[in-house]
């Protein structure tokens, strides 16, 4: 039995598709290995002599593998996907409510970025703080999902992580402009 057939029934759950446990803290090397095994199995060259339906199935599996892989590899996408699997929609487009302390921290970072736009060392120190905040948030998300199974809390934290990531990109651009 090929990987294609074995995994087709699990296509509604990316974790099952790759034979992984549904959790936020993921074994990235195992994900890479499972992805490569499936891609090797569904590669168009392996199905060039197959029927049209076999070729189409292989293409669908390759597309599904790519989508599933990209979703699980990215921490934000993985977290949102787990929340979705557990009936919690993060409502990213409509729900932008954040705790006051988080918003204050964002405003402080923005002010620092604006005020220290020409100070490379200050911006690098700010980046260290932002990266530290990101790591803390990732740990909290892992605890909310893997520990407490609190998907509402995880969704809130994931929305915050999107803000942190967006700011980190802006800060990185500012640092690159000075370097």
The string of pLDDT tens digits covering residues 9-30 is 556 899 999 999 999 999 999 9
Indicate the pTM of the whole model: 0.83
Asked whether the beta carbons of 68 and 85 are under 8 A apart, the reply is no
- How crowded is residue 31: how many other Cβ atoms within 10 Å of its Cβ? 20
Residue 3 has pLDDT above 50, yes or no: no
Q: CA-CA distance, 163 to 147, in Å (whole number)?
A: 24
Q: By percentage, how much of the chain surpasses pLDDT 90?
A: 69
Instruction: Using the Cα atoms of residue 110, residue 115, residue 119 and residue 122 in order, give the sign of their dihedral.
Output: negative
Asked whether the beta carbons of 77 and 70 are under 8 A apart, the reply is yes
User: Does residue 120 lie in a domain region?
Assistant: yes
Domain count, the chain: 2
- How crowded is residue 17: how many other Cβ atoms within 10 Å of its Cβ? 24
Q: Note the pLDDT tens digit of each residue in 83-131.
A: 999 999 887 777 777 888 898 999 999 999 999 999 999 999 999 999 9
Do 49 and 108 have their domain in common? Answer: no
User: Does residue 57 lie in a domain region?
Assistant: yes
């Amino acid at each position: 039995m090929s990987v294609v057939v074995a995994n087709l029934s699990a296509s509604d759950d990316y974790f099952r598709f790759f034979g992984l446990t549904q959790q936020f803290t993921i074994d990235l090397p195992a994900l890479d290995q499972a992805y490569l095994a499936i891609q090797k199995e569904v590669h168009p060259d392996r199905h060039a002599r197959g029927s049209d339906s076999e070729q189409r199935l292989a293409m669908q599996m390759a597309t599904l593998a790519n989508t599933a892989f990209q979703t699980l590899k990215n921490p934000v996408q993985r977290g949102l996907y787990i929340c979705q699997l557990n009936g919690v929609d993060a409502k990213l487009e409509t729900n932008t409510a954040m705790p006051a302390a988080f918003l204050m921290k964002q405003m402080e970072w923005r002010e620092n970025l604006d005020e220290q736009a020409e100070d490379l060392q200050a911006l690098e120190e700010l980046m260290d703080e932002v990266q530290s905040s990101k790591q803390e948030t990732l740990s909290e998300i892992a605890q909310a999902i893997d520990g407490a199974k609190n998907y509402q809390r995880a969704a809130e934290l994931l929305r915050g992580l999107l803000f942190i990531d967006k700011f980190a990109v802006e800060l990185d651009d500012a640092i690159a402009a000075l370097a």
